[in-house]
Chain A
Amino acid sequence: MSYVDAGYAIALSVLFAYSVGLVARRRRLARAVAVAAEDDAFASAATVAAVEGESGGDEPARGGGG
């Protein structure tokens, strides 16, 4: 292989590999963002349910004490 062939092969393959890596990273992060959004929605719903359940349980006690 000549120096010219080696230069073209190395430069173009590095740029190609980096581009493929960028696309793969973007896809992986897009999935992570979607999962994090789902988790966030789940956690918020669970928190709301927990807070509501607790306030619902307090009401009779308050009523009884008042």
Chain B
Amino acid sequence: MTGNYGEFAVCCENITKTYPPDIQALKNIDLKVSPHQIFGIIGPDGAGKTTLFRMLTTLILADEGKATVLGYDVVNDYQEIRKYVGYMPGRFSLYQDLTVEENLKFFASVFGTTVEENYDLIKNIYRQIEPFKNRRAGQLSGGMKQKLALSCALIHKPKLLILDEPTTGVDPVSRREFWEMLQNLKNEGITILVSTAYMDEAGLCDTIALILNGEFLKIDTPKNIVQQFEPEIFSVQSNQRSKLLTDLRRLPEVSSCYAFGDSIHVTVENKKISEEELQNFLLKNGHEQIEIAKIEPTVEDCFMELSKQQEENN
């Protein structure tokens, strides 16, 4: 048994990974994941999420740095790690020619257990695909493949579940259901490390790490990240959306300005411009039905602001 693995389920120190010739996938990163939570790695494609997960699941070696998973070293104790970690890669990687049931049995036997022994853990997920247990995995729809992959990743009752972009390309309703499943697994005591490119899923995690270009922009709870955001944000609407964007971008007092759903988020540093001044500017430029409100930033606002800072620093 793993026994006591100390304070952290995952601990990385100064991890660097470069792919030839010179693609720096991970740049000297540090990461500490406390157990029994949902920890989200949030960033776009190419940020380094998959490289990080492949390193933690002992599938690739880092060039530099040290990492432990459940207290085990990823290089020296890789066999131990593989016993206690469940991994669902971004690309569907079950056996397409085996049936649903055969895949599940296969993964159970590889880990020296049986489906019956750990059925309780997967039953809520597996029940939804059980009517198709004799169908080949390659013949399943996207949503069913995802549930089968999750069942297979859980069948050996892992202590840590690592999920690489499980909701990519999944519609908003199914995404919500998937996150409910993760919440239930967390309540079973499993630590979950999950990556996503959807910023709106940040709020469903206990802690998030925002990642871009192989570096973490910030690691904290979603609430703290939003609270630490310094500039003011105004949500602005008018009757001419396209012109609104170009007009606002002409204002030197506005540091950034982007569409967010049906309104535009205007970022202002050091209170350079007030709500009234914005209103007057827009009236003068022929806008009507103007609505301006000071709002709390979203994690997406924070990500955009932090990515701008990263660009300026490099």
Q: Tell me, yes or no, whether A binds B.
A: no
